[in-house]
Structures are given as C-alpha cells and as structure tokens.
Structure 1
C-alpha cells in the first residue's frame, strides 16, 4: 500500500481511538463515581483551590481517656486558678494514659495567675492552650483576629461559686441582693443580716481573675468592689483570713471552699425563702474534718436551683498548628465519660 493511501487510514484510526477514550471517561464520571476533585493535583467542581490546614477535633470523644487521639510533644498550659483541683487530680491521669502527651503548667511572670492572664499568654504564644473560668471577651477576640486567627472556647464542665464565712459566725445563708450589698459597701455589720454585732470583713481576689470578673458581672451588676473589700493574692490566703477573722466573708470556686475544714460554706438564694446549700446534707462541722468533708451539691448546681453557676472552658487558638491539636485533644479528653467522672470526683458537675 502507498504512503499516500495510508494517511487517511491513520487519521481515521486516531479519531476512533480518541472517541473511545473520551466516551470511556464520560461513562466513568457519570456511572463510576469518579471524582476528579479527589485526585491530587486535579480540581473538580467540589474541590477548593486552597487547602485548609486547620485540624478539626475528633467528632466523638469516646468513653475513656485512652480512646482520644493526642499529638506528641511538650505543651505549656495554664490560666484560671479555679482549675487547680483539675490540674492536681485529673491531668496526671491524662499524662499517665498518654505518656507522649506532656503537659507543663506555666504561671505568668509579674502578675497573678487567672483566666485573663492565661488568655493573654495564649495570645502572646506563651501557652499552647489556656484554662478559663469565663468566656472569651470581645477585646480578646479582636486581638486574635488582628494576629490572623480566631480563639475558640470549649466548655467542658460546670461549677458553682460558694460563699465562705468563719465557722463561728451564726449566719446560715444570705440572698444575692445581700451579697451584692456586702461587696458594694452598703451592708457593713452582720447585725443588719440577723447576725451578731460584728463588722463585715469582705475579701476578694484581684480583678484579674475570671472568678472575680464573673462575680462582679453577675452579682454586682458591673459595679466595682467597694474600697472596704480586702484583696488577697490567692484563695489560700483568703481562706486563711476568713478562718482567722470571725466577721469575714469570701467567694470562690465551690471545690475550693466546700470541702475545707477551716471555713463554713453558707447557703445563697435569689429570695430569702429560696436559700440553697452548696453542699449536700448532712453538714459536716469543722471538728469532724478532715476525717469527713462536706460534698458539693451537684444536683442543685446541675438543676440551676443554686443561683451561682458557670461553665469552665478550654481556650484554643484556631491557627492550624500543633498547639491547636493539643488544646482540642485536652478538651476531648475531659469530655470523655471517664474524664467527666474524674471531674465530678474533683468537685465539678459533668455536662455530659
């Protein structure tokens, strides 16, 4: 056959081959569920032109600490002093279960520890994640956005604020209005509340803490603490002051107050006939402590009958980095059934 006659045949063969290949691709994409967007380097209609580097938290936290996947490394964390019982009892079990997931508590330098200090350290890249007893403030959100990422708050447990007085004070409970009037300086003597003729000595932590922010916002309605309120550097210092001074009063996280041997937790309520105890009956007097201790009234906190409750949060930077994975893993560990049980044993109220 001549070269001139071969050319049309070759062209026809090529056209047939191209047609068959094109038809095959069409058939597979229509009937074979071939998704070009799932092939590396090929973008289909459903594929994004930019791949996100943000790691999402596991959709299920599981039943035990061992069920939660965690990143490997050493991660600094810190913040609210309310979390102290959790750091002391729950976190060691986490690191025992996941030995490669190392947690190092880090205090701020030059200022007292607290929710605000922890979030500030997180914004300054000094912490991998923060523990907070209050939500993220609008100002903190703006600071994060200015740095190119967002902050996320993950609620993990519920707790109450308890009111502590000297064990010898014959006052069993007060209303929220009376508590407000004490810390705003309008009530100055226990005789005004049916107690003895004894000066009221209110104590508070510094304004940097999440507990103080919650208290001033919820109880005082945004009013500042009176000048007569003594400021303690720590809850330990404040409870010692209450123990030594018959007219003193202090507020703090319920797990830090209810089980103490040297102070008395009292009832609070929205109305005089609605006083609710932060502890379960029967009351354990100081002379029976520490062999016996008062226990948190979890049911009253969970139901809302006890009027001063709040959620605790793990605060995470959403920037797609390893620290984000660490913070989300830590929150998911606490949200497992085992984690919630451990938090309950530490004096907090499960949310799952």
Structure 2
C-alpha cells in the first residue's frame, strides 16, 4: 500500500472514530436530559424532573424504612389522596403520620417536632421562620423548604347571608374588631361573629395574621374554635358568622358559602369556579377551586405549601427530598390537583 493510501486510510479511521464518539456522547446527553428520572446528586440537593409525564416509579433513590412525618392540617387532603398512592407503588417507603404529644397539630408544631428529632420531615402551609432556622443551626443542621403546591385562603359565611364579597381591608377590620356589623360592609343589619383557630395552632392562622392582619391583634369579638370542622359547623348555624381556612376545606362544602375577595371593591374574585353551583345541588354537585385565579395571583390571598427537610446528610434528609420529588412528578401534581390544590409545575 502506498504512503498516500495509508494516510487516507488513517484519516478515514480518525474521522469515523470522531463521529462515533460524538454519537455516543449525544445519546448519553439525550438520556440524561429526557429520561424524566429525578436523581440525587452527591450532596443530595433537590432536583425536579423535567418530563411532562413523569410518574412515581421514575423517582430514583427511594429509601426503605419507616418515616414519621406530620405538621400542617391543611395537608390532610394530600395525605389522604396522594400519600396512599405513593404507598401502593413504593410499599417499602413507609410513611406514618404522627400527631404532637402536646398541643394541636399544625405547621409550627410539625417544624418543632422536626427540630426535636421526632419526625423525618414535616409538612407546612407557611415558610420557615428565622428563629426556626436559628434553632436548626444550634442543633448542627439546616432546614430547607421545598414548595409543592399553591393554596388559597377562602372566607366562609352562612349560605343565607346576602353580601357580594369583601375587600382585604374590610376582612382585616372585621378580625381586628373595627367592623362589627354586616351593615357596615353593604350587608344586613346583623352583628358579625368572626371565628378563628388560635394563633399558635397552625400555619394558616400565622399566615392570616402576617398577611391579612399585618400583625395586629385579633379583636375581642373573635371567637376561637379548636378545629376547622367545628368552625364551619358554627358558621352554617350562625347567620352572622365568618371563618377563614384553606380553600379546599371551604369551597366544596355544602353548609357554608365561600365569599369573593378583592384588593378593591370593584374587583372581587371568587375562590370558586364560576358560575357558582347552588348549595342545594350539594353533595351531588360541588363547587371547584378557581385554580386559574390562584395561579395568576388575581385572587388576593394565596400561598405555597412546603415539604420541610432536615439537611443533615442522613436518611431523614433523603426521605424528605424523596417525598418532595414524588409530589413534584406529573403524577403527584395531578393527584394534588384532585385533592383541591393548584399544581406548582
């Protein structure tokens, strides 16, 4: 073979090798970016699958064991409708809801239990407070909040109360005791009876306190009720009653009417999809969440729900991040929607 031919043959081999390596690299790149699998990096940082149809089965590194979790009462529909589906597909990833030994369950008590090593991870309807971050650091680890859904605060009134809605200012004035009669907000001549759970009993109340009341104290006219179920029952019996809670706990109820809210009186946004379904049709037909208004922010009181993870490099961290990853799959987000919340991705 002539030197000329050898040179040409070498060139062809090098060119072929280069193309092959390029194709192999391309295949690996495509698989890495399109498999829909959620992986943990070496430091177990939180990652979200980008596939539009990823499922629970595609989540990687799901740990085995019994993991206690707890916290926000707002999360009850997710625990009931989503967590049960997780257990069917990942039976060795055992989830056990745990109530506090003292005090009422809620976001704050859940985070407190997490700090005290009573939970593997917790569920919250509010962000982590500065003092909670500080307590975690004192114990040698950090806390991380992972948002998984959007929720709104809905206002419940008696079905027979004739009122078009409230502004945020009017709502604040009712709960701080400045407005005491429905006649003051274009309603009937009737005393207002505001109901609430106590401030220390949950993330919803803390969120309401910070974002609606602006830190002002509840008025002397506020009646404190231990649970949302009891409060809604009172409102259904009391024509002048009013209560606030997570939208899925209010909008689909048969005994109370969810009230439109607005930043201004000329733009009141309902927390339910219009047209409003008469309560006489309930329970065969129920009102549904106004998910579009929650997503766009037109509805004035929205918030995010969080998985609170203890970042300590141990299996509890892996459990918390796995749980969040499961909820952030397309399958998880669809189930969250069915539970009455708004998907975040």
TM-score of the pair, normalised by structure 2? 0.85
State which of 207, 217, 224 in structure 2 corresponds to 1:224.
Answer: 217
Structure 1 residue 54, shift from structure 2 partner: 4.6
State the alpha-carbon separation in 1 of the partners of residues 233 and 286 from structure 2: 18
In 2, distance between residues paired with 1:113 and 1:172?
A: 34
Do the aligned partners of 1:54 and 1:319 also contact (CA within 8 Å) in 2?
no
Q: Which residue of 2 aligns with 1:192?
A: 184
How far off is 1:172 after superposition? 2.4
Corresponding position: 1:326 with 2:326: no
1:31-73, Cα deviation, whole Å (9 max, x unpaired): xxxxxxxxxxxxxxxxxxxxx9853345537610111121001
Distance in structure 2 (CA, Å) of the matches to 1:220 and 1:145: 30
Q: Distance in 2 between matches of 1:124 and 1:333?
A: 25
Q: CA deviation at 1:101?
A: 0.6
Aligned residue pairs, count? 301
Unaligned runs of 5+ in 1: 1-51
Q: Does 1:82 align with 2:77?
A: no
Q: Deviations over 1:144-172 (max 9, x none)?
A: 00011100000111110000000010012
Structure 2 counterpart of 1:161, from 140, 153, 159: 153
Structure 1 contact 190–200 (Cα < 8 Å) conserved: yes
The structure having more radius of gyration, on CA atoms, is 1
Map Cα deviations across residues 243-276 of structure 1 (whole Å, 9 max, x no partner). Answer: 1111000000000000000000010000000100
Report the Cα distance in structure 1 between the residues aligned to 2:114 and 2:50, rounded to whole angstroms.
Answer: 24
Residue 300 of structure 1 is aligned with which of 293, 299, 314? 293
Structure 1 contact 180–220 (Cα < 8 Å) conserved = yes
| 1:243 alignment partner, SS class | helix
Q: CA deviation at 1:197?
A: 1.1
Corresponding residue for 1:44? none
Distance (whole Å) between structure 2 residues aligned to residue 260 and residue 223 of structure 1: 30
Unpaired runs of 5+ residues, structure 2, are 1-40
Residue 259 of structure 2: aligned partner: 266
Instruction: Write out per-residue CA displacement over residues 101-132 of structure 1, whole angstroms, 9 at most, x where no aligned residue.
Output: 11000011220110000000000000000000
Under a length normalisation based on structure 1, what TM-score does the superposition of the two structures give?
0.84
C-alpha distance in structure 2 between counterparts of 1:81 and 1:121, whole Å: 15
Q: How far has the Cα of 1:97 moved from its partner?
A: 1.1
- Corresponding position of 2:271: 278
Q: In 1, Cα distance between the equivalents of 2:335 and 2:48? A: 21
Q: Secondary structure at the match of 1:74?
A: strand
* Aligned equivalents of 1:325, 1:59: Cα separation in 2: 14
**Residue matched to 1:60:** 49
